[in-house]
Structure 1
């Protein structure tokens, strides 16, 4: 386990999209001393990197983090074990607002005209277990495409096969290509990241859904958490993680007070127009304090993921065990 007195910079995984702007401000203006490692393929890839020891902290999608831990059946007993214990815990909240997932298909796919026409189709996802994978099941649940079967003690558990295949394609670029060449029929990605490609005619929007939870969380490797506090209500974490959270708070405050600077960064350094960046600003809300996670948010996420068939009704890590630092 990494010592709390260690002076080596944290390796922080993040998604290089517009949501990462406060992270950029934290490093540019407030001395964030961390190695920022981009993961364009998203949360599922960061889970793999956390468990293999490639990164120490991840900033990604709530549903991806919760699904990853919800599939862990047995927690490891040895300190620093990143396998059976799930490899990470929730320590902070990065975005308070839900995420709008746009559902996209290829520009030349006239047979796909509505969400209902996607039932039984091939879903493009970044990785199995990623947010794009999880949300396809949430979509299926909302459209009543899941088949109920008997679960534990006769309870109804949503399972079945609402889609014919999941095609793991890693990057947003490969997902866009796949729905045009027929490798996949549709994929789900954040609305404003997708919008530019609607505007240029590369892909076409079929619909959208929102997450029923606040959309981004911060996790830390269990290597940074004392064994006895990995499931504590307000467990201590490595002092470098505390410093990261404090500097993210300052980056968020700067973001809120300097929207023109944020738009300039998003529209020049990232793949968004100035108009889209300003529209996105109207839809997003970051927390004043990133420290801690609401237990009820995690419970809601687990409940929806169980209903959607992503998680089993019984077994797996409990919501209380997923959080190392509660609000």
Structure 2
């Protein structure tokens, strides 16, 4: 039995992994796939890949591309979710912010430096024609940290996947000001170079198993009910989310990689652009 460690956010996107693990699909081919939930998100997972705390990360595309460019010895082996991530832009429900323009030059709550919540703050600011050099950040680690930070006025707004924060909006904790979709596929699967070198066949088997599940994931009977219960969502919200979410079984194309890097470079999020071979490894 080969032990492989994998990390991902505790969100609805990753239910296919949990189903495969619970059904013993990896075990049946001699793989002990050990899942770790990482509520802190992409910045933390980049660090875990660097430190060898995880072998695989199901991670935001822009975050891992930035970190590989900065020396993370990992590669993207596949796109996991093809559709964009729809980020909600949230403020404390008791605040005086009601429109996007109210948030110009205001402080952003982010999970970690290099996280998707930070990188998308740059994308949003650029979309609004704001001066991105004026962005200021408050590190809050998790959604709970964001709730506290916004309530205490230590930060002004927080960007996170809009369906995961919807219960907080419904409860009157957050007010959602706007949506900001990523201009690229949202999640990829990244693997440490050392693991790719030592266990290429194992990684190929893992991808094969997860791809079979994601291909038919939406057809699983009552999957909307299962997701709603597991992730504390209204069934109507989950049905909307399922309707706009597409999983992938393909590699990131060179055209899409160039598009992402060009945008990250223009926003000064990366200092240099990596080559396809430096960032991508097709199994």
| TM-score with structure 2 setting the length | 0.92
Distance in 1 separating the partners of 2:70 and 2:53: 21
User: Given that residues 97 and 215 in structure 1 are in contact (C-alpha distance below 8 angstroms), is that contact kept between their aligned partners in structure 2?
Assistant: yes
Per-residue deviation, 1:196: 1.2
Per-residue deviation, 1:319: 4.0
Distance in 1 separating the partners of 2:24 and 2:245: 22
Which aligned pairs between 1:69-108 and structure 2 lie closer than 5 A? 69-72=68-71, 86-108=72-94
* Residue 269 in structure 1 maps to residue 230 in structure 2: yes
1:237–1:134 CA distance, 2 compared to 1 (3 A): farther
Per-residue deviation, 1:253: 3.1
Superposed CA offset, 1:175-215 (max 9, x none): 12211211110010011111111111000011111111011
Distance in 2 separating the partners of 1:175 and 1:139: 18
User: Given that residues 24 and 251 in structure 1 are in contact (C-alpha distance below 8 angstroms), is that contact kept between their aligned partners in structure 2?
Assistant: no
User: 148, 151, 155: which one pairs with 1:180?
Assistant: 151
**Structure 1 segments of 4+ aligned residues over 3 angstroms from their partners:** none
Aligned-residue CA RMSD (Å): 1.8
Superposed CA offset, 1:115-156 (max 9, x none): 12212111100110011110000111111123xxxxxxxxxx
Per-residue deviation, 1:47: 0.5
Distance in 1 separating the partners of 2:276 and 2:266: 15
1:71–1:243 CA distance, 2 compared to 1 (3 A): same
Superposed CA offset, 1:227-261 (max 9, x none): xxxxxxxxx9622211110110122134122151x
Which aligned pairs between 1:120-269 and structure 2 lie closer than 5 A? 120-146=105-131, 161-163=133-135, 165-226=136-197, 238-260=200-222, 262-269=223-230
Distance in 2 separating the partners of 1:320 and 1:306: 18
Give 1:306's aligned residue: 265
Superposed CA offset, 1:8-60 (max 9, x none): 22100011101012112222336124001111111111100010010000001
List alignment gaps of at least 5 residues for structure 2.
27-31
User: Given that residues 139 and 209 in structure 1 are in contact (C-alpha distance below 8 angstroms), is that contact kept between their aligned partners in structure 2?
Assistant: yes
Give 2:275's aligned residue: 318
Task: Identify the structure with the greater helix proportion.
Answer: 2
SS at match of 1:212: coil
User: Given that residues 71 and 317 in structure 1 are in contact (C-alpha distance below 8 angstroms), is that contact kept between their aligned partners in structure 2?
Assistant: no
Distance in 2 separating the partners of 1:183 and 1:199: 23
List alignment gaps of at least 5 residues for structure 1.
1-6, 73-85, 147-159, 227-235
* Residue 280 in structure 1 maps to residue 257 in structure 2: no
1:297–1:259 CA distance, 2 compared to 1 (3 A): farther
- Report which of the two structures shows the higher radius of gyration computed on alpha carbons: 1
1:132–1:188 CA distance, 2 compared to 1 (3 A): same
